[in-house]
């Protein structure tokens, strides 16, 4: 089985390649990269004017299975992922039940084996039932295949417990992903604390709720010598703390999501619950700081924080609506539209944030287009425009913050091994 891709603009930051070349794939492995490859192949794709890059690794995805199959399943979520160019993802453990024991990891592993159409990696919970009271059995979960730990959705409030968790995680070489939120400061808020909360008469979440916990987790991790990754950074102050920590050599990485570099708190006007997420959309100044941090490397990763919710959980009073938005299918297009075309990031820079860096942070040997590597790549039309509508989304839930928006960037092909697993409709 042989596949030939002609005239593609190949972007492979791992090998410092950024040129128009051909690529041959034989039995699922990249066999040849070069100019004008003259080989016979069963399938030939002319990718003139299009970009060939490693598939994206989205390290922050809620697939909701097991337990909330009405919102999303491993099957539907991975179909959405593939459509968005995401070939590998990390599933968050805040399912029902939470992925907090060996048995629950096995349960999820079974589901993935049966129904995933993209590579799904698993994260285990830090504490039993994500209750923040008692540590989960890291070793047992690791044996079953988890590659990171997190109580995402909440933070471990008990500092002593968090300290132990970080020490234990270091011993096992596991990454800890921190959802940074101080509940007493968040004050049951639903939007950013500031002019928007004042105008709309809603409870506000101050930035302190995030950055004070960022600071705590960094200090605890520094002492424990544990690698941590700060999830969904939303505000400037958190970035200052992360930048300083990086400077003094703390093993900390950071992630943001497309809505934080695209939208501000003003988007919530009119009480659109598809703009309600945690942390909340912040000020224009914060948004600008996020862009700057993407440029200067303080933020390593762009992840979707794909958080599907049913319509009946979203079309309710703003106070009662669930936090979170879907994002697998818009992750790449929003990044292209808002970062690449606006020259915040170069194309190789963008591929690093979406593919190389998250893979490296998770310790996955992928996101490279080197000869001999397993093919896991996507071909993208950077300029093709489309509109985000409920109908355009294949995810089970339609709670996108970008409904109605026109975006540039369409994933034309997704190639996993020797198979073209997705081809855009024309």
Interacting residues toward another protein by CB under 8 A: 193-195, 197-202, 204, 270-271, 312, 315-320, 388-391, 403-404
Shortest Å distance, C-beta 19 to another protein: 39
Question: Nearer to another protein by C-beta: 31 or 283?
Answer: 283
Shortest Å distance, C-beta 318 to another protein: 4
Q: What's the rounded Cα separation, in Å, for the pair 227 and 85?
A: 28
Shortest Å distance, C-beta 288 to another protein: 18
The reply to whether 305 belongs to the active site is yes
Question: Nearer to another protein by C-beta: 139 or 195?
Answer: 195
Shortest Å distance, C-beta 263 to another protein: 15
Question: Nearer to another protein by C-beta: 106 or 392?
Answer: 392
Shortest Å distance, C-beta 271 to another protein: 3
Shortest Å distance, C-beta 188 to another protein: 10
Residue closest to 207 by CA, chosen among 243, 233, 228: 233
Question: Nearer to another protein by C-beta: 249 or 270?
Answer: 270
Question: Nearer to another protein by C-beta: 156 or 388?
Answer: 388
Question: Nearer to another protein by C-beta: 189 or 324?
Answer: 189
In the set 305, 319, 381, 418, the catalytic residue is 305
Question: Nearer to another protein by C-beta: 201 or 249?
Answer: 201
3-state SS string over the chain? Answer: CEEEEEEEEEEEHHHCEEEEEEEEEECCEEEEEECCCCCCCCEEEECCCCEEEECEEEEEECCCCCCCCCCCCHHHHHHHHHHCCEEEEEECCCCCCCCCCHHHHHHHHHHHHHHCCCEEEEEECCEHHHCCCCECCHHHHHHCCEEEECCCCCCCCCHHHHHHHHHHHHHHCCEEEECCCCHHHHCCCCEECCHHHHHHCCCEECCHHHHHHHHHHHHHHHHHCCCEEECCCCCHHHHHHHHHHHHCCCCEEEEECHHHHHCCHHHHCCCCHHHCCCCCCCCHHHHHHHHHHHHHCCCCEECCCECCCCHHHHCCCHHHCCCCEECCCCHHHHHHHHHHCCCCCCHHHHHHHHHHHHHHHCCCCCCCCCCCCECEEEEEEEEEEEECCCCCCCCCCCCECCCCCEEEEEEEEEEECCEEEEECCC
Shortest Å distance, C-beta 186 to another protein: 14
Q: What's the rounded Cα separation, in Å, for the pair 148 and 57?
A: 14
| Catalytic sites, residue numbers | 305
């Amino acid at each position: 089985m042989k596949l030939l891709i002609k005239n593609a603009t190949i972007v492979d930051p791992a090998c410092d390649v950024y040129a128009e070349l051909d690529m041959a794939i034989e039995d699922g492995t990249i066999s040849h990269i070069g100019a004008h490859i003259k080989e016979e192949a069963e399938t030939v794709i002319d990718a003139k004017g299009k970009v060939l890059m490693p598939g994206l690794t989205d390290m922050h995805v809620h697939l909701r299975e097991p337990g909330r199959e009405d919102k999303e399943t491993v099957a539907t979520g991975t179909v959405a992922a593939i459509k968005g160019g995401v070939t590998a993802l990390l599933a968050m453990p805040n399912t029902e039940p939470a992925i907090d024991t060996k048995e629950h990891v096995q349960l999820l592993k079974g589901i993935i084996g049966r129904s995933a159409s993209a590579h799904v990696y698993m994260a285990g919970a830090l504490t039993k039932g994500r209750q923040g009271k008692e540590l989960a059995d890291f070793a047992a979960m690791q044996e079953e295949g988890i590659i990171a730990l997190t109580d995402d959705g909440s933070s471990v409030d008990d500092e002593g417990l968090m300290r132990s968790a970080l020490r234990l995680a270091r011993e096992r070489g596991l990454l800890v992903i921190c959802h940074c939120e101080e509940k007493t400061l968040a004050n049951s808020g639903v939007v950013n604390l500031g002019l928007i909360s004042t105008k709309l008469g809603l409870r506000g979440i101050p930035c302190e709720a995030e950055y004070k916990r960022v600071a705590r987790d960094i200090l605890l991790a520094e002492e424990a010598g544990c690698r941590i990754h700060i999830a969904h950074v939303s505000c400037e102050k958190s970035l200052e703390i992360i930048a300083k920590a990086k400077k003094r050599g703390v093993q900390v990485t950071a992630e943001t999501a497309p809505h934080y570099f695209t939208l501000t708190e003003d988007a919530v006007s009119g009480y659109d619950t598809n703009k309600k997420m945690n942390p909340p959309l912040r000020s224009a100044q914060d948004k600008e700081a996020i862009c700057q941090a993407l440029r200067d490397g303080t933020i390593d990763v762009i992840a979707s924080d794909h958080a599907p919710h049913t319509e009946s959980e979203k079309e309710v009073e703003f106070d009662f609506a669930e936090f979170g938005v879907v994002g697998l299918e818009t992750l790449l297009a929003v990044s292209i539209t808002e970062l690449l075309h606006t020259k915040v990031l170069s194309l190789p820079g963008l591929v690093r944030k979406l593919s190389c860096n998250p893979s490296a942070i998770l310790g996955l040997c992928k996101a490279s287009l080197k000869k001999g590597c397993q093919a896991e790549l996507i071909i993208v039309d950077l300029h093709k425009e489309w509109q985000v509508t409920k109908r355009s989304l294949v995810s089970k839930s339609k709670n996108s913050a970008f409904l109605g928006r026109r975006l540039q960037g369409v994933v034309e092909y997704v190639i996993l091994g020797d198979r073209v697993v997705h081809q855009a409709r024309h």
